Amino acid sequence: MDSGTYFSLIQYLTDFNMPKYLTKEQQQMIKRKSQYFILINGQLYKKNRIDPQRPYKV
């Protein structure tokens, strides 16, 4: 994952606002990807479908 996507996901998961500089396609991509990630103490984790209690650190 590139750094732009990483920071956009963090911003979206923090306050559910999209960065203003993203295009509509990029905003849709962030919304789609955000369902697979969770933010814990400011760190981005990917949800683990097998063991939801142990997410993967990104």
Q: What pLDDT is attached to residue 1?
A: 81
Q: What pLDDT is attached to residue 23?
A: 94
Token pair recorded at residue 32? 């789609």
User: How many domains is the chain partitioned into structurally?
Assistant: 1
Tens-digit pLDDT string for the chain (58 aa): 889 899 999 999 999 999 889 999 999 999 999 999 999 998 999 999 999 899 999 8
* 13-33 CB burial, b ≥16 within 10 A, e <16: eeeeebeeebeeeeeeebeee
Range of the domain at 35: 3-57
Phi then psi dihedrals of residue 10, to 5 deg: -60, -45
Q: What pLDDT is attached to residue 55?
A: 95
